[in-house]
A = this chain, B = another copy of it.
Amino acid sequence: MPAPNVIPLNLTSLKAACSQCNLRELCLPYGLTEDEVAQLDNLVGARRKLKRGQHLYRAGDPFEALYAIKIGFFKTDILLEDGRDQVTGFQMAGEILGMDGIGTEVHTCNSIALEDSEICVIPFPQLEHLSREIRALQHHFHKVMSREIVRDHGVMMLLGTMRAEERLAAFLLNLSQRFTARGYSPQEFHLRMTREEIGSYLGLKLETVSRAFSRFQEEGLISVHQKHIRILDNAGLKKLLSHQPG
């Protein structure tokens, strides 16, 4: 590529502006007054674009900032020395990445864009500074972290007690619900991740994920074409979850 990788652009357009962002209600600015959001605007650094497959950060990178997803879709994963890895989460617009790094000042997982994406950089020392000034920001940030803990407990439950089809049903319902919150259709969506990535997240092999999709389709619960999913029987999927194994 002959051009330098920093392309001269209108800088004001690169600067994140929470006050103008349609994700305000899902993201950090939630619950802030206009005045307070303006202060957050000052804090949030440049936006950053990532191509599909690019790392936002890697395990071992020094922790400096949190990242709010403006556009796109990410996964986080952990890689053990012996080669085993596990997807620990999928993140979509309005969600915050990077909180794994606060405790050790080093990131403990990898964050990878699953489609072309755009994130807002939130330098962490400044975030702490501002949340000492703005009570609502402080409290909301604590809520975001707490919810991440609760989400993780849900995944532990899923991995520890659920059967393959229950896991996949839970996964689909969770995606559906999150897409809905972002104004997309609850019934119809496009999976950004491969069967293998779904399997890794759910503690299953890709073949098992594929078979479960086929079974759901046979049973008329969903229709699947490649990565395109349509939920035909929401209640049926939910029923799968609340049923005792056996």
Check A150–B84 contact: CB distance below 8 A: no
Contacts of A133 in B (CB 8 A): 132
**Any B CB within 8 A of the CB of A228:** no
A108 cross-chain contacts in B, Cβ below 8 A: 150, 153
Evaluate contact between B160 and A99: CB separation under 8 angstroms.
no
User: In the complex, what's the smallest C-beta–C-beta distance from A128 to chain B, in angstroms?
Assistant: 6
Q: Which of A38-46, A114-122, A134-142 is near enough to bind chain B?
A: A134-142
A109 within 8 A of B: yes
Contact A103 B150 (CB under 8 A): yes
A90 to B244, CA, bound (A): 26
Q: Which residues of B contact A88 (CB under 8 A)?
A: 153, 156-157
Are A155 and B157 closer than 8 Å at their CB atoms?
no
Q: Which residue of B lies closest to A143 (CB)?
A: B103
Which of A82, A85, A152 has its CB near the most chain B CB atoms (within 10 A)?
A152
User: A20 interface residue, CB < 8 Å from B?
Assistant: no
Q: Does residue A203 face the partner (Cβ distance < 8 Å to B)?
A: yes
A135 pairs with B135, CB closer than 8 A: no
In the complex, the answer to whether A128 meets B135 with C-beta atoms within 8 Å is yes
- Give the oligomeric copy count: 2
User: Which of B109, B138, B144, B201 contacts A128 (CB under 8 A)?
Assistant: B138
Given A143-B103, A153-B88, answer yes or no on A132-B138 (Cβ-Cβ < 8 Å). Answer: yes
CB atoms of A149 and B152 under 8 A apart? yes
| Chain B residues closer than 8 Å to A84, beta-carbon distance | 157, 161, 244
Q: Are A142's CB and B156's CB within 8 A?
A: no
A147 CA to B105 CA, complexed, in Å: 11
Asked if A181 is an interface residue, CB under 8 A from chain B, the answer is no
Q: Which of B142, B149, B160, B200 contacts A159 (CB 8 A)?
A: B160
The answer, among B81, B148, B242, for a CB contact under 8 Å with A149, is B148
Which residues of A are interface residues toward B (Cβ below 8 A)? 78, 80-86, 88, 99-104, 108-109, 128, 131-133, 135, 138-139, 142-150, 152-153, 155-157, 159-161, 200-203, 242-244
